Structures are given as structure tokens and as C-alpha cells.
Amino acid sequence: MSNVVIVGTQWGDEGKGKIVDLLAARADLVVRFQGGNNAGHTLVVAGKKTICHLMPSGILHEDKKCMIGNGVVVDPEVLLEEISILEGEGIRITPDRFYLSEKAHLIMPYHKAVDIAREKAKGKDKIGTTGRGIGPCYEDKSGRRGIRVLDLLDAKALEMKIRENLEEKNFLLTRFLNAEGLEFQPIFDSYMDMAERLRPYISDVSMEVDLATEKGEKILFEGAQGTHLDIDHGTYPFVTSSNPLAGSVCTGVGVGPDKLHHILGIVKAYTTRVGAGPFPTELTDETGEYLQQKGAEFGATTGRKRRCGWLDLVMMSDSIRYNGLTSLSITKLDVLSGLDMIKVCVAYQCDGERLNYMPASLERLARCVPVYEELPGWKEDISGADDLNKLPGPARDYLEFIEEETGVPMSIVSVGPKREETIEIMELFR
């Protein structure tokens, strides 16, 4: 038996969805452990694109069980809509293959209202949230005001908690944020309706995962966002509201660290970022535009244009340390095809000092100048390569350079968006 954890090593959008979909074919369970519907995993199977926001990507595999752990914040309206869309595409969503943790916290309409009103009030200083209510929901979770999935099964408890929270949130909305308040009854009625539709899927995910472990089943743990959006270790405050690190599998699902056998770090062959925040290797020239256009770099959830830049191995070194990566998966290598020269950031120069880590201070990070190594590019279309030896020499050199600089072996290389456009170097489930 072997369990695999998938984490993003950059600012999200690394192509985790495709790799999860690929590995889900060999797993028995796929479990999401953090984040919310502010993430979008884009999958391309048989030429058809599917975007999953809450549902674990493995749901496209008919014989797999998929679970949403307690570390995820769930917008029930979005989840039910996603279930409906998937079923409309012929994908079976039944209680014997989809499980929703009773301990997961629910995103409420007032969370979204506060999220949007705060960003509007900040104006040009806004953080760049998706406005999905993720942050305010995690705030209520930490403040012990949260409403959990299990509360959907108790009408009296749900009514009391909504009323108490709404009193506070309406005061915040109307008296401080100059926004419209919300009414109790429409919220309560809609959540009671959704409760009945979600009831069959609600379960103790921690226990289900434990039972699967005892049976020797293979488990794939799926995270959202990326390491440098981590609330503790990312470029704070331009971060998400949860911990996308491998260690949060333990708290976000309810398993011990001894159940995490292989930590796979997903690395885009270049770097992208959505929204505000520092970006040392950002390219605002023709090369950046080339990467943006060829890589179709638009947020799967927001549709916002992604900022593009060269691969940053300084941030990678932090990701390796935070997650304890076992191997790397390089994605979107094909996007680099056509460039005469490729740069890789191997260090920062800051205030006369050479750094091999990202400073926690955003002011200091803003003063960091990337130190680049230049490598030759290649012109060939590599999407048909099914073996490393079929890649052009410069593409192989690029991959070898990353391995040597990081000290972490590669297990998967993606050379195109389709499931079959992948080079597998090692078997992760053993």
C-alpha cells in the first residue's frame, strides 16, 4: 500500500488537476483536504474540458471513491450545482462513491457578502480575493462561530446559528462596510432545502479513510492552491486562508502523518500568479505575453489573466522544505517550446546579499533582484513525446537542471493538456 499527497509548489495553477486525474486511475480513494471553491482544477479527457471547483478531480473515474475532508470550506450551492453538471455529463454521483465530511464548515451568503464588501472598501489596496467567501468562512471557523455540515441535519441548531451570525454580519455590512444587509428567512429556507439534497453524502470522512487504510487501499490526497499561498508560509497577506501544505492533510482529513507516504510537488515549467502580491521573476514584456497566450493562462475559477514569469527555484527551495517533497511533476513544459532562450532564477540579490530563500518581509522581497541562469530553448513540438529520450536535447537539459538544482527527482513530466500527453518516470503507488 502507498498513499500519495499532491501539493502545488508555486502560487497555485500548477496543473494539479491533470496530475490528480492521471494518478486517480491507480488510486482507490481521492480525498480533498483544504481550500474551497476559490480553486479550479481543469481536466481535459478525450478532448473534453471539465473544471472541478469542490468535487475531487478523481470523480471522473467511475470506480473511484471521492471525499471532501473537514479542512475544506464548502459552499453547498456550488457543490450541488457541480454535482448536477457532472451528472448531466453522465458521471455518476452516488453516496457509495462520494462522501462529504460532517465536520467541514459551510460558506454562508453573509461570508460572500462580507468578502466582496471588504475588497470594495479597500479599493486599490485590495488583496485580490475571489469573493467566494472563503476567508470570512475560515475566520468564523477559527472564531468558533462556524456552521458545519452536520448542522444541516439539525434545523433548530441551524436556525439559531444563522440568526446569531447574521446579527453580527449585518452590523458589519451596514454600519462599517456600507453594504446591504441580508435577511434570515431566505437563507434558512435555502439551506434547509440543500440539507435534504446533501444528506445522503454526509459522513465521517476520517473514519472512512481509516477503514480504507486498514484494507490496504491506495489513497490520493488532493490539495488546492499552492505552497506560497499558504496562510502561514506564503507571501502574506497576499495568500489564501488555509494551509495548502502537505502537513495539513493530517488536520484536514483526520489522519496521522504515518499515512503520508509520497509527497508529490507539482511545478509549472514557468511561474504564474493570479491577483496581487509580489512576483520576483514576473515578465511584463513580449516573453511574458507569449507565455500567457500560449499557456492559456486564465484563472479556472475567476477567468482573470495570470501574470507570467520565469521559473523561480528560490521559491521552490522553500516549497521543498515546507512539504518534504519526495518527487516533482513538471507541467506545461510544452509552453516553453518556441523560445530561443530560457531563464531560471537560482537566487536573489538583495541589499548586497545573495539569498536562497524568500524573505518574509514583502518590502524586502520587493527589493530582491533575480539571479538567472540562461539555458538554450527548443523549437520542436514536444506534445507527442512519451519518453524523456524523445524530447529535444535542450528540453532534457532543462529538466536535468531543475533536478540538479533542487535535489528532488522527477516522477512525471506533462508535455500537453491531454491525459495521454504525459511522460511517467516512476510509479508512485507501490
Catalytic (active site) residue 13:
yes
Burial label for 26, CB within 10 Å (0-12, 13-18, 19+), is middle
Strand partners, 426: none
Identify the pLDDT of residue 41.
Answer: 64
Strand partners, 251: none
Task: Look up residue 252 and give its three cell numbers.
Answer: 484536514
Domains observed in the chain: 4-100+203-262 (3.40.440.10), 105-198 (1.10.300.10), 268-424 (3.90.170.10)
What's 103's DSSP letter?
A: T
Q: What is the per-residue DSSP string for 282-309?
A: B--SHHHHHHHHHTT-B-TTT-PBPEEE
pLDDT of residue 367: 95
- b/e map of 393-421 (b: 16 or more CB within 10 Å)? ebbeebbebbeeebebebbbbbbbbebeb
Please name the residue that has the C-alpha cell 510537488.
265
- What's the predicted TM-score (pTM) here? 0.93
Which of 41, 61, 105, 111 is the catalytic position?
41
Q: What is the pLDDT of residue 130?
A: 76
**Contact at 8 Å (CB) between 124 and 169?**
no
Q: Report the interhelical angle of 393-406 vs 313-323 (nearest 10°).
A: 50
CA-based nearest residue to 262, from 422, 71, 23: 23
Among this protein's residues, is 61 annotated catalytic?
Answer: no
pLDDT score recorded for residue 61: 86
111-114: long-range contacts, CB 8 A cutoff, minimum separation 24: 111/136, 111/137, 111/140, 112/136, 113/169, 113/173, 113/179, 113/180, 113/182, 114/169, 114/172, 114/173, 114/177
* Residue 43: per-residue pLDDT: 61
Burial class (CB in 10 A: 0-12, 13-18, 19+), 294: middle
H or E element, residue 375: strand 369-376
* Predicted local confidence at residue 183, as pLDDT: 97
Q: Are 231 and 246 in contact (CB under 8 A)?
A: no
pLDDT score, position 42: 66
pLDDT per residue, tens digit, the chain (430 aa), is 589 999 999 999 999 988 988 999 999 999 999 999 876 666 665 566 777 789 887 888 888 999 999 999 999 999 999 999 889 888 889 999 999 999 999 999 999 999 999 988 887 767 667 789 999 999 999 999 999 999 999 999 999 999 999 999 999 999 999 999 999 999 999 999 999 999 999 999 999 999 999 999 999 999 999 999 999 999 999 999 999 999 999 999 999 999 999 999 999 999 999 888 999 999 999 999 999 999 999 876 667 889 999 999 999 999 999 999 999 999 999 999 999 999 999 999 999 999 999 999 999 999 999 999 999 999 999 999 999 999 999 999 999 999 999 999 999 999 999 889 999 999 999 7
d(CA 64, CA 28): 5
